[in-house]
């Protein structure tokens, strides 16, 4: 990257397929943001993180609901785990809670 910027300072070619170089380029771009752009970037990242967390929680609630229904129908833990991606331990806990 340094050699390329010396050879062609106006338009250096950067190999963004290299993960290390890509990360460095992202950090340099990030540091050059104005305060307003930085704020917008942080807000956008926070919104994306919140959305991902909400989607994950909704998926977990749905998986738990499916597991509870499977337990009520008499399905075994292994099969429920395959359907929901819940661990066998989580399903066993649900099984205990369902009996109470």
Distance CA 29, CA 74 (A): 56
Q: Say how many domains are in the chain.
A: 1
Residue 82 lies inside a defined structural domain of this protein: yes
Can you give the residue range of the structural domain that contains 100? Answer: 51-100
Residue 13 maps to a domain: no
Q: Is the pLDDT of residue 37 over 90?
A: no
Given a cut of 70, is residue 3 above it in pLDDT? no
Phi-psi group of 74: left, alpha or beta (phi > 0 → left; psi -120 to 50 → alpha; rest → beta)? left
Q: Tens of pLDDT along 68-99?
A: 999 999 999 999 999 999 999 999 999 998 87
Residue 87 counted as domain residue: yes
Identify whether 46 is part of a domain: no
pLDDT at 42 over 60: yes
Whether pLDDT at 62 is above 60: yes
Average pLDDT, the chain: 80
51-60: pLDDT as tens digits: 899 999 999 9
């Amino acid at each position: 990257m340094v050699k390329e910027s010396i050879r062609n300072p106006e338009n250096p070619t950067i190999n963004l397929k290299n993960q290390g170089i890509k990360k460095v380029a992202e950090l340099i771009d990030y540091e050059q943001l104005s305060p307003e752009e930085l704020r917008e970037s942080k807000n956008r990242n926070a919104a994306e993180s919140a959305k991902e967390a909400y989607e994950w929680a909704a998926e977990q609630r749905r998986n738990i609901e499916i597991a509870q229904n499977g337990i009520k129908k008499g399905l075994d833990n292994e099969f429920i785990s395959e359907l929901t991606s819940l661990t066998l331990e989580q399903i066993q806990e649900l099984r205990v809670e369902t009996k109470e």
